[in-house]
């Protein structure tokens, strides 16, 4: 998976519900928009990711607790995504790993996913 820091930060903004961020994200990256929708529980977006962007589909599955999805991410050498999931799940060492590897924006992504899920639970 190869996305710029700007794209990931835009994804974070969309997950946090910032005005206009989802529309900008869609214009920037259809698959990241689908990822954001899948994290929010959109089944059609998740199905589209399974067909079109398997790594992002695995990322969503891992976020929702599928342990074998994390193993597949590691097997596919998607270490940043696996570390992001682990940080999301509470592994602070994964957050340090992301920071050491200049991927702090993925740690921010994990925090944004937590925010979006908590907001979804409240609504």
What pTM, to 2 d.p., does this model score? 0.92
Return averaged pLDDT per consecutive 10 residues of the chain, 123 residues in all.
91 95 94 95 95 96 95 96 97 97 97 89 71
What pLDDT sits at residue 117? Answer: 87
For CA atoms 97, 11, 50, 90, give the dihedral sign. Answer: positive
C-alpha to C-alpha distance for 123 and 74, rounded to whole angstroms: 34
What pLDDT sits at residue 118? Answer: 84
Phi, psi of 4 (to 5 degrees): -75, 160
Give the SS3 label for residue 15: helix
Neighbours of 41 (CB within 10 A): 12
Domain residues for the domain of 101 are: 5-122
Overall domain count for the chain: 1
Give the count of alpha carbons within 13 A of 111, CB side only. 10
């Amino acid at each position: 998976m190869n996305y710029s820091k700007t794209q990931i930060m835009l994804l974070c903004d969309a997950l946090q519900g910032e005005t206009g961020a989802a529309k900008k994200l869609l214009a920037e990256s259809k698959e990241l928009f689908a990822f954001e929708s899948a994290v929010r529980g959109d089944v059609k977006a998740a199905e589209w990711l399974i067909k079109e962007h398997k790594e992002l589909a695995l990322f969503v599955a891992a976020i929702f607790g599928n342990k074998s999805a994390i193993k597949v991410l590691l097997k596919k050498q998607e270490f940043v995504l696996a570390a992001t999931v682990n940080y999301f799940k509470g592994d602070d060492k994964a957050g340090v790993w992301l920071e050491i590897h200049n991927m702090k924006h993925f740690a921010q992504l994990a925090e944004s996913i937590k925010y979006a899920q908590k907001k979804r639970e409240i609504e």
